[in-house]
Each structure stands twice: as structure tokens, then as C-alpha cells.
Amino acid sequence: MKFTLKKAFLHTALVLRHKHGVFIGCVKCGLFWRGLVHDLSKFSPTEFIESVRYYQGNRSPIGVSRREQGVSLAWLHHRGRNKHHIEYWYDHECDPLPLMPYKYAVECVCDKLAATKTYAKGSYTPDMPLLHWQRYGHLAPCNPKLSRFIEEVFIDIRDKGEKHVLNKKYMKSTYQRICGSNDAEN
């Protein structure tokens, strides 16, 4: 796979559409700063160059890179610098796995929702984030409470709509109820 200016432009546009979606979701949930700084590492040379080389437009270049090279250095870089990724919090020696703090858990939900919309384009339906989570969520080990939080949010997006879910009151009360943490006050 080659790095081309056309793919660099298309990848940048895709990342900016995704970042915009996350920003809108985070702002609705009262997390302006998290939405603003979301995924800035995607513009680092490690992530940007590999992502442009494996750009497809309809799926993450990370999976393509893994199939071609057996590993994605962009993903290893990205997950190690972005606390909204479940994998950031994974430590095989921890039992139970740590609970992702509220602000990152909400950013995680907004990230997954925006990614689904970005790649699905006009074919997006409200059940897609839940279906994707049910199919792939188990691949990234996480605290069971966090997993329940994400799944419940996606169920409510499917059943009640984003307007009901993407707001500070819903997210805080759902996180506190499921995770039993006062961290949602921060």
C-alpha cells in the first residue's frame, strides 16, 4: 500500500468528520474539552502515515494494516495515548480490570457512535452501534461494569434515540447506577 496525496486528503477528511461527530456527542454530554482534544494523536506521524497507506474509506485502516503486516503500529500508538479506548485500561495482571473514569467512558461511547456513523455514511441505523458492540466488544477485555454501561447506552440509543441518551443527566445517572462510582461528579 502506498502513501498518496489523494489518500492523505481523504483520510484527513474522514478523521475530521469522525472528530466532529465525537465533539458534538461530547458537548451534548457536557464534556466540551474531551470532544475538542479527541483523537489528536491521529495526526502524529506514527498514526497518520500508516493510516493513509492503508486507507479504505469504509473501514478502519488499522484492520487492513493488521491483515497486511500482522500488526498495526498506529493502533499500538493510538491506544496507548487515548484514555477513551478500553485497551488503554487493560492490564493482564489486574483482576478485576480497572473501571474507566466517567469522562473517558462517555467519550468512548461518543467515539464508537461517531465511528459507526462515519463508516456507515448514509446507511447508518440506530441499532448499528449496539450490533457492533455485541459482535466485537468482547474482544477488548474490560471491567464488566463498563461493558454493561456501554451496552445499556447503545440499547437506549436504539430504543429511545440519541436525543434521550446524549445528555449530561442521562450519562451521569446511568454511569453512577451501573458503575456505582461517584466519579461521574467530575
Q: Count other Cβ atoms within 10 Å, centred on residue 79.
A: 20
Nearest 5 degrees, angle CA 29-CA 144-CA 134?
A: 75
pLDDT of the chain, 186 residues: tens digit per residue:
899 999 999 999 999 999 999 999 999 999 999 999 999 999 999 999 999 999 999 989 999 999 999 999 999 999 999 999 999 999 888 888 999 999 999 999 999 999 999 999 999 999 999 999 999 998 989 999 999 999 999 999 999 999 999 999 999 999 999 999 767 655
- Position 10 scores a pLDDT of 97
- Position 186 scores a pLDDT of 53
- Position 73 scores a pLDDT of 97
Residues with Cβ within 8 Å of 112's Cβ and at least 6 positions away in sequence, in order, are 129, 132, 133, 150, 154
Residue listed under C-alpha cell 496525496: 5
- Position 184 scores a pLDDT of 65
Enter the pTM of the model.
0.94
The one-letter code for the residue type at 37 is V
Cell of 107: 467519550
- Position 170 scores a pLDDT of 98
- Position 185 scores a pLDDT of 58
The span from the CA of 83 to the CA of 177, in Å, is 22
Q: What torsion do the CA atoms of 10, 121, 104, 42 make, to the nearest 10 degrees?
A: -10
* Domain extent listing, the chain: 5-79, 94-185
- Position 94 scores a pLDDT of 87
Output the 3-class SS for 10-52. HHHHHHHHHHHHHHHHHHHCCCHHHHHHCCHHHHCHHHHHHHH
Cell of 86: 478500553
